């Protein structure tokens, strides 16, 4: 059975790329002939373009902006190359990146749309008809661990939500709060499926990390700020000082500043390697939390949104003591890797059950 995956695999974001790879591996592990469809939303792709002249900032900042513009663009190019190489090798089977027109989608038995924030119009420049399934009415489409900014959906006409969900013959989302929000507008039961990065085993991620070794021999505390940069870096710096370790800060983007602490040109593979090699992790990122769990790292998560997916995940794992807004008190509590692996195994069974119901044909055909 041939499955095409439509997601945000081209975003220059660690979680976006790694969840796409995890979806691919998970489907193939179940016997499906799965591949990534290289469709790209123009607004998202433009947002990650290295050379982006901001006329408004140039007027406000004058020569200072101009002096930073070229080194920032060159820095982004270096990071972009790391992502492009990973996407080409691991997601597109070594093929050159060539964004497809949706009219080229042919020969798939079903299309999986998601994971990631494919239903967030504030990110995609309005609802993308591809990610909302509003194309090729006869094609079989499944919403796979789809996500959205809650405020985007709350601002919608409920009838519009119902029409969007009716395009899918099976629907799963990756946040419990989103499941509750959408279920009243959907005639089908909406399933809760964990983020795909949690659905493949640690050996899959070890294999990739091995290919991108970290050249850091001293013990280090890794900070991965996403939403609350100041708190995360402050906590990580205090922890590194208390433990007598180096501080390494893995950036969510690249700019003109270069310091020994900042890692700003890592691609998805190197990101995995940095997390795996850390003694401790402090993060406000969901995927920083997810990979700390996968690699069994002592970590603290700064959750900026109560009820968000970091909190939801850690509640389900009974590990809310790992959520912190400034205290380092629980950092040295033992990580029960066996318990985590057993819990993740349950997540995989739930996702497998959803897919077998959503894609009822015999696998491997």
Please write the tens of the pLDDT for every residue from 87-138.
999 999 877 666 667 777 778 899 999 998 999 999 999 999 999 998 877 7
Kindly provide the residue ranges of all beta strands, DSSP E only, lying in the chain, ordered along the sequence: 2-6, 33-36, 110-113, 141-146, 170-173, 190-192, 220-224, 246-250, 262-263, 280-283, 299-301
Tell me how crowded residue 177 is: count the other CB atoms within 10 A of its CB: 15
Q: What is the CA radius of gyration of the chain?
A: 21
Hey, which residues does 141 pair with through a beta bridge?
A: 111
Widest Cα–Cα separation across the chain: 63
Q: How far is CA 284 from the centre of its chain?
A: 13
Distance CA 190, CA 277 (A): 38
Distance CA 291, CA 204 (A): 12
- Tokens representing 123 are 């990110």
Residue pointed to by tokens 């964990």:
194
Query: What pLDDT is stored for residue 326 in this prediction?
Result: 84
Percent of the chain with pLDDT over 70: 95
Residues in the chain, overall count: 365
- In terms of average pLDDT, the best of 150-159, 179-188, 352-361 is 179-188
Residue pointed to by tokens 């930073």:
68
Q: Is the peptide bond before 243 cis (omega within 30 degrees of 0)?
A: no
Q: Which residues of 226-256 are buried (b: 16+ CB within 10 A; e: fewer)?
A: bbbeebbbebbbebbeebebebbbbbbebee
Return the closest-CA partner of residue 319 out of 340, 348, 302: 340
Fold adopted by 202-334: Rossmann fold (3.40.50)
Which residues, in sequence order, are CB contacts of 40 under 8 Å at separation 6+? 10, 99
Please write the tens of the pLDDT for every residue from 56-76.
888 888 888 888 888 989 999
Please write the tens of the pLDDT for every residue from 277-325.
999 999 999 999 999 999 999 999 997 666 678 888 999 999 999 999 8
Residue 173 contacts residue 116 (beta carbons within 8 Å): no
Question: In the predicted model, is pLDDT for residue 256 greater than 90?
Answer: no
Distance CA 36, CA 111 (A): 10
Question: In the predicted model, is pLDDT for residue 250 greater than 90?
Answer: yes
Q: Give the start-to-end residue ranges of the domains of the chain.
A: 2-47+93-199+346-358, 202-334
Q: What is the mean pLDDT of residues 216-237?
A: 91
Distance CA 280, CA 257 (A): 25
Query: What pLDDT is stored for residue 314 in this prediction?
Result: 93
CATH class of 2-47+93-199+346-358: alpha beta
DSSP string of 218-242, one letter each residue? S-EEEEE-SS-HHHHHHHHHHHHHH
Distance CA 286, CA 226 (A): 9
Residue pointed to by tokens 């469709």:
39
DSSP string of 82-123, one letter each residue? HHHHHIIIIISTTPPP-PPPGGG--S-SEEEE-SBSTT-HHH
Angle at 137 between CA 92 and CA 363, to 5 degrees: 50
Please write the tens of the pLDDT for every residue from 316-364.
999 999 999 888 999 999 899 999 999 999 999 999 999 999 986 544 4
**What is the DSSP pairing of strand 110-113 with strand 33-36?**
unpaired
Distance CA 352, CA 349 (A): 5
């Amino acid at each position: 059975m041939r499955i095409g995956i439509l997601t945000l695999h081209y975003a220059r974001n660690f979680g976006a790329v790694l969840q796409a790879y995890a979806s691919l591996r998970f489907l193939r592990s179940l016997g499906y002939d799965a591949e990534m469809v290289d469709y790209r939303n123009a607004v998202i792709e433009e947002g990650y373009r290295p050379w982006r002249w901001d006329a408004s900032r140039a007027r406000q900042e004058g020569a200072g902006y101009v002096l930073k513009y070229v080194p920032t663009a060159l820095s982004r190019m270096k990071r972009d190359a790391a992502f492009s190489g990973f996407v080409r090798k691991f997601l597109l089977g070594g093929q050159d990146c060539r964004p497809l027109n949706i009219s080229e989608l042919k020969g798939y038995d079903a299309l999986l749309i998601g994971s990631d924030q494919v239903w967030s119009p504030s990110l995609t420049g309005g609802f993308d008809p591809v990610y909302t399934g509003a194309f090729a009415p006869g094609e079989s489409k499944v919403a796979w661990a789809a996500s959205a900014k809650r405020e985007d959906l709350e601002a919608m006409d409920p009838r519009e939500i119902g029409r969007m969900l009716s395009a899918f013959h099976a629907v799963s989302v990756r946040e419990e709060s989103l499941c509750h929000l959408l279920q009243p507008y959907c005639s089908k039961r909406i399933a809760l499926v964990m983020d795909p990065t949690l659905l493949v085993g640690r050996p899959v991620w070890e294999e990739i990390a091995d290919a991108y070794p970290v050249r850091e021999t001293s013990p280090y505390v890794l900070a991965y700020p996403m939403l609350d940069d100041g708190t995360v870096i402050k906590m990580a710096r205090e922890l590194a000082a208390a433990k007598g370790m180096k501080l390494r800060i893995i950036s969510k983007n690249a700019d003109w500043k270069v310091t020994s602490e900042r890692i700003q040109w890592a691609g998805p593979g190197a990101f995995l390697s940095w997390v795996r090699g850390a003694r401790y992790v402090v993060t406000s990122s969901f995927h920083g939390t997810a990979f700390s769990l996968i690699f069994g790292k002592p970590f603290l998560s700064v959750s900026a949104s109560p009820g968000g997916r970091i909190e939801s995940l850690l509640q389900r794992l009974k590990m809310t003591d790992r959520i912190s807004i400034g205290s380092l008190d629980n950092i040295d509590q033992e990580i029960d890797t066996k318990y985590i692996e057993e819990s993740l195994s349950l997540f995989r069974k739930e996702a497998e059950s959803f897919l077998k119901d959503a894609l009822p044909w015999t696998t491997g055909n």
